[in-house]
A and B are shown apart, each in its own frame.
Chain A
Amino acid sequence: MTVQVKDITVRFGGVTAVKDVSLKLPPGKIVAVIGPNGSGKSTLFNAITGMVKPAAGTIEVDDTRIDAMPPYRRIGLGLARTFQTPRFDPKVTVSEAVMCGFYPVHRTGVFSAMLRLPKAVAEEGDFRERCSDILDDLRLSEFRSLTMNELPMGRVRLVEVARAVANRPKYILLDEPAAGLEREEQRMLSREIRKLADRGVGVLLVEHNFGLIRELAEHVVVLKDGAKLLEGEPETIAKDRAFIDVYLGSAGR
């Protein structure tokens, strides 16, 4: 019952973006991937969710091989993700954007949706209820009727998280969720990530902010030039010379 990535290699033409990286994401745990820009974090992410094809290696979710599956089916298996640069339709309202996240769990067919059969009405009502619960959790309720382009960046990232958790995923991959967030928003986000993990969701976190990782992650994987440099608990990592040299420099202490 884990996401298991084994010896993943991704090449773009002649460039090897990710080389033989393995990683394990158990449910209920927070695992962080850290590394300088261009170290392959986002590529690793995209390989897991199927947005890029790995040249070698296997990916399993709960003992099911997923590396040949199209991305949308991986999402359907309970693997949600956010984007480093939030992707959203600027004209859509906040609650409408979160409603889009329910797609993988919707069960009413096109025809019952068109005819508004009682089944469809019930499901729609259920989604609206769950949507407002999620918005409450993330303190986004007051913004629900605003359109996405009226929101500050920090809230947009929270909406992205809300959209990803809407279908109650088993694992969630967050790509730099705290970038551009104010301190207060960051606190809210980290509390929400903690809550997700407590609920049994495995969280894979790509983050630059080591403070946030220290606070949240139980296990850290450090990437450098596409390969795994080291891994371990955040406290051990923070003291590691090799890590400090490649990533934090002298400011990291």
Chain B
Amino acid sequence: MPAVLRSRLAPIGLLVVIIAAMTPLIAGSAFWLDNSVLVAIFSLLALSVGMAYGQAGILSMAPAAFGAIGAFATSIVTTRYGLSPLVGLALALLLPAVVAYPMARAITRLSPLPLSIATLLLSLVLELAIREGKGLTGGYIGISGIPPLWFADSVFAMHVLSWGLVVVVLFLYANLTDSAVGRAVKTARHDPLRATADGVNVPALLASYFAISASVSGLAGWLYAHHLTYMGPDSLTMHVSIKVVLMAVIGGASTLLGPVLGAAFLTLLTLYLPAAETQGMIFGGVLIFVLLVAPNGVLGTDWGKLIARRSDKQPMAVRPAATEGTA
């Protein structure tokens, strides 16, 4: 599909156009700008799930935990030590990867499920550590007074900055997917032995890829901390992780823009849902609906084919490759 490969960056262009068209409409409203920043932050978290789950097949239940590592890193160095948020940014990118790599390295040898459980445990341990972190993390009270970014000190500037970062991440992600490494990751997800025969060190490659996805979460955490100027033990919890996984799956975890679409959809849905208690019910309902109708997510589904198949009511044609040749 050379035509599609040449337009590898086309979805990113589409996103830029949408954001550019939307910006003047919401520029006057602090409420919508604020939500726009949140959608961008959740997009980054969901993209991290897209990389880990959609590409490498590792269902991580810890995107928010990696985000919390990034958020606390920048909160601590900026409030306690008075360092620049850029130092915080470097830490927010680095620390989640440093935690994610050995974890994945130890567990990708097994199967995706143990890694998924390990990420869940990481979330729990981290939440405990934050509560018990006393002076360092602020314990139950958290850290307030995190300085806003001096180069983006208004909500409008944050809106531009955070969407700019989403676009940069998408650009890097699209390039990586269409490279020897990206192809090897896809092969390894589908069939590790096949990837090994291609000369791929599967555990090391998947662990590196997982570490990169954790960095993207860390970046989201960095934005989150400087946007809300408060970071506490209830900020980026496991519930947020589950919501983020939902976003990625609903939008289409293996597609470029799917996680962004999912983040926008669920964030807007949350705004119009009456009470917090009903949210879980509706999220669950949406997830079941999507998994039944389009298990690859909204953008991961060939809708034309799906509708044609439904209306034909004909079974799918038997593929020639499905029949073994005569020996």
Contacts and interface: CB of A to CB of B under 8 A. Distances in A.
Interface of A: 49, 51, 70-73, 75-76, 80-81, 83, 87-90, 92-93, 96, 99-104, 106, 108, 110, 113-116, 120, 123-124, 127, 145, 148-154, 156, 163, 167, 176, 179-181, 208
B187 A89 contact: yes
A93 B186 CA distance: 13
B312 interface: no
B199 A153 contact: no
Interface stretch (B73-81, B157-165, B176-184, B265-273): B176-184
Pairs of residues from A and B, 3 with the lowest C-beta to C-beta distance, nearest first: A180-B325, A104-B199, A75-B199
B200 interface: yes
Interface stretch (B100-108, B284-292, B316-324): B316-324
A90 B176 contact: no
B208 A110 contact: yes
A76 B196 CA distance: 10
Main secondary structure of the interface of B (DSSP, over half): helix
A153 B321 CA distance: 5
A106 B325 contact: no
B309 interface: no
A108 B208 CA distance: 15
A100 B212 contact: no
Given A114-B176, A149-B321, 19 more contacts: A51-B196, A76-B199, A80-B197, A87-B193, A87-B197, A88-B194, A89-B187, A90-B319, A103-B198, A113-B179, A113-B180, A152-B320, A153-B321, A153-B323, A153-B324, A163-B198, A167-B199, A179-B327, A208-B327
A90 to B, nearest CB: 7
B198 A87 contact: no
B201 interface: yes
A90 B1 contact: no
Contacts of B327: 176, 179-180, 208
B279 interface: no
B105 to A, nearest CB: 14
Interface in B180-224: 180-184, 186-187, 190-191, 193-194, 196-202, 208, 212
Given A51-B193, A87-B191, A179-B327, A75 B320 contact: no
Contacts of A148: 321
B326 interface: yes
Interface residues of B, number: 37
A116 B280 CA distance: 41
B208 A100 contact: no
- Max chain B Cβ within 10 angstroms of own Cβ: one of A49, A106, A120, A148: A106
B319 A103 contact: no
B144 interface: no
A149 B193 contact: no
A153 B320 contact: yes
A247 B199 CA distance: 34
Contact of A72 (B1, B191, B201, B208): B201
A250 B233 CA distance: 79
B180 A102 contact: yes
B320 A103 contact: no
B180 A106 contact: yes
B180 A103 contact: yes
Interface in B276-327: 319-327
B172 interface: yes
Contacts of A153: 320-321, 323-325
B203 to A, nearest CB: 10
Given A96-B183, A145-B1, A151 B197 contact: no
- Max chain A Cβ within 10 angstroms of own Cβ: one of B181, B325, B327: B325
A51 B181 CA distance: 22
Given A114-B176, A148-B321, A153-B320, A103 B200 contact: yes
B274 interface: no
Contact of A49 (B186, B197, B212): B197
A58 to B, nearest CB: 22
Given A87-B193, A90-B321, A100-B184, A75 B198 contact: yes
A80 B178 CA distance: 23
A89 B191 contact: yes
B29 interface: no
B176 A113 contact: yes
Given A89-B187, A113-B175, A103 B321 contact: no
Nearest to A89: B190
